[in-house]
Amino acid sequence: MSYFVRRRSVGILLVMGLVLSLFVIAAISRGNIGATGHASGWLLGGLIVFLASYNVRKAVPFLPLGTSAAWLQIHIYAGLITFAVFAVHVRFSVPTGIFECLLAALYLVVFCSGITGLVMTRSFPARLTMLGDETIFEQIPVVRRELQTEVEALVLTGNAEWQSPAIVEFYRDELRPFLIRHHDVLSHLIRGESARWHRLSRAIDDQRRYLNADEQHVMDEVKGYIRRKHQLDTKYALQGALKLWLFVHIPVTWALMIFVVFHIVLVHAWSGGLS
């Protein structure tokens, strides 16, 4: 067993043990709801603050605070534990009141976006590597326009030489709509391929049967460009999802922290703790 697998197994067992212990303590303390609520609330608030501090750690990598990889692993395990603490804190029921429901919704958005981000950051980089040439997200629109220009030049040159409108018409009706923008983001995120690409690939093969040898050669080159555009759409979907995830997870985390502070103030104000 490798060190990585052994470390992950130990981490998962530790999380499961802590969650089980938390549930047992909550069951034993069920008669004292107030004490359980305050303890779980402070624990949940502390965990949320700790999880948010990971972004601070990434902003100051030069400080001797441990490796980023270690922080990430602790961040993941602590995030998983918060769900159990949250369930205990709300007593395994739907919160009542507008503020409590909004606070719970914010937490669930942060938790679910964290799980989504964990899945994406573990799987998307490998998929991007399999696509070959690295293309940064900001350059993808430029590369898309270059592909469209190259296909247009190839098609128009062929038409001028052979005076055959077949390829130009096929480009106008089938290829250009595919080249001018990105398609099927959800399909690329889930499967990596789209029904549109398979349909277009079959259409190119069908069109090729009615062309002469020179035109078939052109269509073979065109199909290569279309395949590159399909791969570019996959890169656009995967990299875009990774960027969008950060724009959701981090801002909502800070919003959650603000609401947690208000929640603490309100709880202590109503219970007389601030009087």
204 has a pLDDT exceeding 80: yes
Segment 80-117, tens digit of pLDDT: 889 888 888 888 888 888 888 999 999 999 999 999 99
Average pLDDT, the chain: 82
CA distance linking residue 158 with residue 123, whole number of Å: 42
pTM of the model: 0.80
54 or 196, which is more confident: 196
CA distance linking residue 89 with residue 71, whole number of Å: 26
274 has a pLDDT exceeding 50: no
> Which residues have a Cβ under 8 Å from the Cβ of 230 and sit 6 or more positions away?
193, 194, 197
Candidates 156, 141, 120; CA nearest to 229 is 141
C-beta atoms surrounding 9 within 10 Å: 11
